[in-house]
A and B are shown apart, each in its own frame.
Chain A
């Protein structure tokens, strides 16, 4: 790929030909680069096509949307990195909202206590998923589908189908206030991104999660506690689902069992896949996942700004997913890492 006369041994010694071409190759070989680029292109295009697109108010709307399924996407990606899948995140987010509201309004707990308890319960659900997957070898798809179904049902039974009103102001404040011009949910999303990035890239537990996802048997024989790592990812996913659920009810002002979290798990999975996460595990980075979530939001909101028929928006989402998968495969074919 570099100068033609070099033997492999020489090539190992000499530095790469020019900095620029190395950078280009590196970019082309990185799956995340394409998604980030797509984000930039989409933003510029929509900004030109729809004048209201990039004003502060609309950006704030996007920030709040993003926080909801972006946080779910990050959690979901942890699980996918180990080669699993978590279908429960949408349902759990919905139930978490209802639980927080129920604790707060019906049981009279103060807002922070209700939130904390909700997050603890969600973490427990994640632990349960991990345990079932590890100990009884239940396929992740199945066990999380069970939870999804139960969550949907529980949300409706707790509330008898009617929204819980009269939430503590804390919920609304969380979702409606700003740090400077940035809505708090977007700030929380940013914090989640940074923490998740740090955990996966800079801690040994994170690197071990990649190892478990890349080759579980090799990880086991190398002495990595694979089960604990897998459980950790389910706990992360469920807890973040709880967080997203709390943000959702804050934004709505009521805990509505019919609205909260529906279908979010699929958007979360789509964001991860668009961002370059391999459903086989072991591959994908936080930068890409965040960019994947942002890209989906940019396009969704953009289509709205252009007054595109709502039904076609869903079609557009599907097309984006298809293009992302295709582009990733083509990239992998030409730049190695061709695994799936």
Chain B
């Protein structure tokens, strides 16, 4: 089924010293092989960009190096010393520093205390008591070392009072301050503004100049291409390409990331003129809006936008799961103002949230109970349920979306991600909604299952449901949607018909907030204010 990828290797080593040597590193979770690297060397003075789709094995690779993931097999050497699997302390001792996206900072402690967590400031004479002045001094030095002007970040402040970008910088300073041999940056710029992002990119370069090895996991291809001396592509846990920056064109990278499995790409024709189902005008909520949108019956509207642009917020506000602060909505001509998700559901809206584990399922409960949650009321008689009826309903729901399982009594957590997601679709369909809201419909689903989920989305639209699908994966939106609304800072920057919806147009609108069809002068407005 899967084609064995052939490794294309052309990036030069240029006789540099090897900092990290990985041989036969292997990791599986249950039946899924998430990482399988026969050979990978990271050299001193090199920034290695790592790209891959979600679930390609990027985080697992970082985790095995940083010790937070215990590899099943294989050898890792850091600067000649063998690395014990699964010990973060050991990885730190050998000189691996991971700057992760999930800042492991202690919110109640000050910036200075966080930066020196677990260590005493150098030169402090105190043995028992905390040497606050020395601690602050050391912390300020660490922040200065990553190029921040003095007092940009107040070191006495509690970390939890600081915004996310600042925390990201603290995390970076913490990693940098350990003077690592191998610095791993996990999408370090995803939460930063342009100025801070540049600072981080400069920092990565500087690390390489100082002879460190840098592993830069990027979510934006242009950024990776700009900074990396070498780009490796992961797909399904394997290293499928090892390229020089010249070879690593955007097209090439995407091709390598997606592999041969690009399917289902013919542009869609919008349904014949159907009545408008959802009309949103001037909708505002915390961090959202004002937003104007319409969705017709049988139509699939995509919501694109960068991280934090308000995609999920829009979906949740329409569903009633997040309170709207202004504006109006109407469903099939009737005013619709949900106070909570309960009212949204009652009005014929089904929401499939982005995080299956946290927002959709009770993992340890049987499939039966999970899939019937949306219909309990309907299948009960005066509030009373018959167990046989529940079971039959669960079987019908799962059959409808072809969930592969042994019985509806097994815990839903024992299914694969794709099967879980199909079960969630089945549950949503069972409630017979008029409007289906999707947030990252294929997150954490393997490539084969993705196609099946796209089919389900098509089916929903063909049956007359209106579908609104938010996704961070552009390819996905281009495959499934009739129209795409691009969001930028909580507003809809542009609504693109299928014919206009090219990747370039979407990215332009997402990054600049300008409608790309309004001419070139709109595109260079980088301040994000639509003209």
Interface residues, chain A, CB within 8 Å of chain B? 8-9, 11-12, 201-205, 207-208, 210-211, 214-215, 217-225, 282-283, 336-337, 339
Kindly report which residue of chain A lies nearest to residue B343, judged by CB atoms. A223
Complex CA gap A214/B363 in Å reads 8
| In the complex, B346 has a CB within 8 A of chain A | yes
- Selected interface stretch from B246-254, B291-299, B377-385: B377-385
Complex CA gap A11/B387 in Å reads 24
Q: Which B residues are in CB contact (< 8 Å) with A282?
A: 362, 364-365
B383 with A221: CB separation less than 8 A = no
Q: Which A residues are in CB contact (< 8 Å) with B353?
A: 218, 221
B362 with A220: CB separation less than 8 A = no
Kindly report which residue of chain B lies nearest to residue A336, judged by CB atoms. B411
Complex CA gap A218/B345 in Å reads 13
Sample of 7 A–B contacts (CB below 8 Å) = A12-B406, A203-B380, A207-B385, A211-B369, A217-B358, A223-B346, A336-B411
| In the complex, B135 has a CB within 8 A of chain A | no
**One of A8, A202, A223 near B345 (C-beta < 8 A):** A223
| In the complex, B344 has a CB within 8 A of chain A | yes
A204 with B358: CB separation less than 8 A = no
Write the nearest CB–CB distance from B335 to chain A, whole angstroms. Answer: 19
Write the nearest CB–CB distance from A83 to chain B, whole angstroms. Answer: 11
Complex CA gap A105/B470 in Å reads 66
Write the nearest CB–CB distance from B342 to chain A, whole angstroms. Answer: 5
| In the complex, B114 has a CB within 8 A of chain A | no
A214 with B376: CB separation less than 8 A = no
Q: Which A residues are in CB contact (< 8 Å) with B362?
A: 210-211, 214-215, 218, 282
Q: Which A residues are in CB contact (< 8 Å) with B373?
A: 207-208, 211, 219, 222, 224
B383 with A215: CB separation less than 8 A = no
Interface residues, chain B, CB within 8 Å of chain A? 319, 321, 340-342, 344-346, 351, 353, 358-365, 369, 372-374, 376-377, 380, 383-387, 404-406, 411, 414, 427
Q: Which A residues are in CB contact (< 8 Å) with B404?
A: 8-9, 12
Complex CA gap A201/B365 in Å reads 14
**One of A8, A12, A202, A283 near B385 (C-beta < 8 A):** A202
B341 with A203: CB separation less than 8 A = no
User: With A223-B341, A225-B342 in contact, is A207–B376 under 8 Å at CB?
Assistant: yes
Complex CA gap A22/B361 in Å reads 27
Write the nearest CB–CB distance from B173 to chain A, whole angstroms. Answer: 33
Give the most central of A201, A207, A225: most B CB within 10 Å: A207
Q: Which A residues are in CB contact (< 8 Å) with B340?
A: 220, 225
B341 with A339: CB separation less than 8 A = no
B365 with A210: CB separation less than 8 A = yes
A203 with B364: CB separation less than 8 A = no
Kindly report which residue of chain A lies nearest to residue B378, judged by CB atoms. A204
Write the nearest CB–CB distance from A220 to chain B, whole angstroms. Answer: 6
Q: Which B residues are in CB contact (< 8 Å) with A201?
A: 387
